[in-house]
A and B are shown apart, each in its own frame.
Chain A
C-alpha cells in the first residue's frame, strides 16, 4: 500500500532561517515523489518532482530510498514561502494517475 507521512502539521520559522519539511513514504515499488504547494486562495501547484532534481524558488528535495524520505529544504526562508505544503507519492504501472498525499504541513515564515 502507498502511504505518505508528514509528521509536522505546523512549522514556524523566522525569515532568513533554514527550513526543512519532512516527508516519509511507504511504497514497495519504485517511487515517484512530488512536493505540491498551496498558497492562500490559490490552487494546488507542483513545486518539485524528484526525477527532475531541480531547485524551484530556492527549494530542493532529495530522495533517500534507504530512509524512505523526501524532505523539502530551503536554506533561507522568505515570508512569501508561507503556505501549505503537501508531499505526494505517484503510482506506477496500474496505479498511474493516482497520487497519495500526506496530511500537509502549514509553513509560516515570520518577519
Chain B
C-alpha cells in the first residue's frame, strides 16, 4: 500500500497570508490526524477527522481549521499567518487495525512564515 502523502512538501509565506496543506491517507484509512512539530513545543495535536467529521481538536486558535472529503483526503488551513506558525505540519492516518490508535505518518509539510 502507498503511504501517507502530503503536499506541498515546502511552503514559504509571509505574515498575514493564508495557507492550505493537503494530506492523502493510506487507502482504506478513514481517520486523519494533524500535528504541528516545532523544536520548542515538540509534536502537538491539532485535530482529527473521521468520515468527514472533526472528532477531536487540540488547543490551537481558530485560525487553524481543517476538513475531510468523502475520499478521506484531508486539508488543513491556517489563516492570517504569524511568524510562530513556522513549523513542520504532519498528518497521520489510521485504519483502526486491531482496534487501536496506530497512526501512520506522512513526510510533513515544512511551512516557513516570513
A16 to chain B, nearest CB (A): 30
Given contacts A43-B108, A44-B90, A44-B105, contact A98 B100 (CB under 8 A): no
A46 interface contact, C-beta 8 A: yes
What residues make up the interface of B, taking CB atoms closer than 8 Å to A? 3, 31, 33, 35, 42-45, 48, 50, 55-56, 58, 90, 92, 94, 96, 98, 100-108
Which residues does chain A contribute within 8 Å of B43, judged by CB atoms? 86, 99, 101, 104
Chain B's closest residue to A100 (CB) is B45
* Residues on A facing B (Cβ under 8 Å): 32, 34, 36, 43-46, 49, 51-52, 86, 90-91, 94-104
Apart from A44-B90, A96-B55, A98-B101: 5 A-B pairs, beta carbons within 8 A = A94-B56, A98-B45, A99-B101, A101-B42, A102-B42
**Consensus secondary structure, chain A interface:** mixed
Using CB atoms, name the residue of chain A closest to B101: A90
Query: Which of B31, B100, B104 makes the CB contact (< 8 A) with A32?
Result: B100
- Verify B42–A97 contact, CB threshold 8 A: no
- A33 — nearest CB in chain B belongs to which residue? B101
* Bound: A31/B105 CA distance, A: 21
Alpha-carbon distance A91/B58, docked complex (angstroms): 13
Whether the pair B58, A98 counts as a contact (CB closer than 8 A) is yes
